[in-house]
Each structure stands twice: as C-alpha cells, then as structure tokens.
Amino acid sequence: MLQDLGSLNGTWLHNRRWVQIWVKPGDWIQVGRSSLAVVAAPTRQPVGGKVPAKRQTAVIWLLVGLAAILCQSMLMVGLTTSGLNKGGPILPNQPGPVFTYTSTVASIQASSGGELTLDNGARLSIPPGALSRNSEVEFSTIPLETTEGMEALGQMYRIQLQGGEFDTPAGLVAPLGVVDHEADLLAWNGSDWDSLGGNAQGGFISAEISNSGKYAIGLLADVILGNFLPSRNGYHFENPSVPPYFSDGICAGMAGTISWSVYPSSPPSATGWNELSRDWQRWILEVQATYQDLPDGTLFNRWDATPELNLIHDLLRDGQPVFVGLRTNPNSLMGAGHAVVAYGLEYRDELNPAGFGWQSGYLVRIYDPNYPDRDDQVFQLLKDSKGQWQLGRGWTLMQEGFLLQLDAIQAYPPQNISGPS
C-alpha cells in the first residue's frame, strides 16, 4: 500500500495524484523530482522446503528531506509490499488482470440491520427496516466489467440481496484511492452509469444507495454532440418578447423546439422574430405554452442537481440535446426563469465559480436563446458539503465574464412535439 501523508506536491503514479493506492512490482512512483521503483520483497525458503504460513511483509518508510531540494514540503510515504496479491483500486488505463478482495456474505435481520465490511475498508451499512424481510446479502469487489460511459478511477463493487431493493436507503462507504475531488460514486442502471455524488473525505467516499447491483469509483465520461453548434443549430435572433402571449420572452419555446424536434437539422436562417413564417412562430409559442404546463413547470425545484446531471449525460450519450430549465435570481437581468439547450458535458479539474476558489466539477455546454450564435456559453455543476451536485455555488459563467446567479435546475426528456419542417 502506498499512502501520501499530506505532502504539498503530492505522490504521483500513472500521471495521477494519489492519496492511497495499491502498488505492484514494476510501478514507478513520482515524489517531487525523484522517481521510486517498486520491487517485490524477497521471501526466504525455510529448511525443509516448506513455504511460510504468511507472506513476508516489508515496510519501507521514506522521509524526503528538505523542501527546497525536492518537493518544497516535508513528505513521508508509507510503502508496503504486503497484500500485492489482493490488488485494490483499478488504476486508470491499467491493462492486465484485476485482483479483488474477498466477498462478504451475511444473513441480515430486517428488524436490526447490520454492516458488511471488506478487508480494503469498504463497508455496507444496512439500517433497521431497510429490508422488508430477513435476507442474505452479499457484498464483494469484482473486476471492472463495463467502462463505457465512465472513467474508472477505483475499485468496482457488487451488492446482491433478495428482492433487489432496499426499503430505505443503505449506506455505502468505499476507499477512494484517488484525490478526494477527483472521484464520484457511480451506479450501473442496466445500460449506463449514473452519478450518486458522494461525500469524499479522509480517503473514503460515501453515499446512500437504494438498489442491489454494481457500483464503482470513477467519473462520468465526457460527451459532446460533435455535430451541434449553437451558431449553426440554434436560432439566429435574440430571445424576443411576444406580447400579449409571453411578454417576458420565449426562451422555452426556442429551446424546446431545438432540442425536441429541429435537431439534427438547423432552424430557419431568420435573424429576427418577424422574419419567421407564421407556422414557425405558432409552433414556438405552442412549445412555450406546453413547457409551462409540464410537471413542476417553471418552478425548477431540483436543488439537488444529481438526477439532472445523470439525465443530461444519458440523453447526450444517446445523441439527444437536452432541454434544461434554470431558475435564476429574480434580481438578475434575465428574470426568474430561463431555458437553454445542453449539448456537452465535460469534467474539469479546475473550475472557479465567481472567484470562490478552484474546484473540480462538470462543465455543461449550452445553446442560450439570449445569446444567439455564441458557442461559448456554459454553466457549472459542483459538489456541496453533502456530496450532492449543485449549480456551481449558485453561479454560472456567461457572456464576457458576466456572472448570472442560478438557484435550481431541471432537465426534461424529449417531448412528442412536431412542427413545420
């Protein structure tokens, strides 16, 4: 086990910074300006040819000296060659077999619950009442089987129980093996990976789960509609007011028609509302009205953006631009509500929402009806203290550095709305 005990410059393996990771002979570790090779500890054959009951363990403590010479910080690294046959977190882009820890199977009483623990420190906590009846539960690590749609950063787990679902959420805690902000707890939904968010601290990540199935430490894969550009696939006129119907703008009608019907084609080349045909005008206004009648409508009451993140990711992977409603600060220039089209999702190690400090999170690329023909509009999703994805501490980067305060988000799947061709 290699563990960084709090160095400033960090400990690096396979071009990634780690706080804790299993290593194997042949790995090269970067510590400041120095490189360390991992070698297997020799084992001695006893007289008589019998193999010792336990593998010999070698623990090497390395104290890297003056900060100015190597890392500009005092660094201590603990390296042990014990348990190399156990494996551990899956290394990014690491070929070859994946070794797993032992499984844990237990009969859990529904009335009292229980906790299953693996020898890598992962644990599954089942509270009283989470099971509808006494059940046998299996908790194990498994080789990473399906990586499409995600970037694997750590170990994969399987949870199996009778009935398949918990009546109330159980708690899953797993070692990160990576820097805290570079990981997420992902759940396999049968066809794709979903983010559960997860609170990362002390080298572990924790989240509530409701189902049996596969879970992994990783990140949702970046996805961008390669043939979508706001300047090509969006309207070329700015979001207008159309009294007496919609005096506050028709952004939802513009975003809805683009995401639900027009794409992958392009809308008319009109640069003004009055240049559109009557059929197109009527269709946009109908979509605007339909959107306002959808469940939750303009309330945008999704303070936890994690479900929206997953819906955006899933639809984009299916080649579908995503209609997204945003609730804005009522004092902003854009009023209390706005609608955009998401066409890209990218994970970034450094995002700086309104000068609050650099964080890691997802950047959502959008077509914004208020800024026609601009291909640089985005908003951000960052984790809050509870491990939930939120709207970048309430801020999104807008045109020419302008900062617009956002409060909540809601994404919608495609609606069956057809219009003029």
pLDDT at 314: 94
Q: Which of 322, 305, 304 is nearest to 313 (CA)?
A: 322
Show the DSSP H helices in 70-194 as ranges.
Answer: none
Q: What does the buried/exposed string (b/e) look like for 297-336 if buried means 16 or more CB atoms within 10 Å of the residue's CB?
A: ebebebeebbebbbbbbbbbbeebbbbbbbbbeeeeebee
Q: Tens of pLDDT along the chain (421 residues)?
A: 676 665 666 677 765 556 556 677 877 787 776 778 787 765 544 444 443 443 333 333 333 332 323 333 333 333 332 222 233 333 333 333 233 346 777 888 888 888 888 888 899 999 999 998 888 889 998 887 777 888 878 889 999 988 788 999 999 999 987 555 568 899 998 888 999 989 888 889 999 999 999 999 988 999 999 899 999 999 999 999 998 888 888 999 999 999 988 898 899 999 999 999 999 999 999 999 887 766 554 444 456 788 899 999 999 999 999 999 887 655 444 446 788 999 999 988 776 655 555 577 888 999 999 888 999 888 888 887 778 888 764 444 444 444 456 667 888 888 877 777 6
pLDDT at 401: 43
CA distance 385 to 392: 12
CA distance 219 to 216: 9
Pairing of strands 389-390, 378-383: antiparallel
Q: Which of 94, 118, 286 is nearest to 215 (CA)?
A: 118
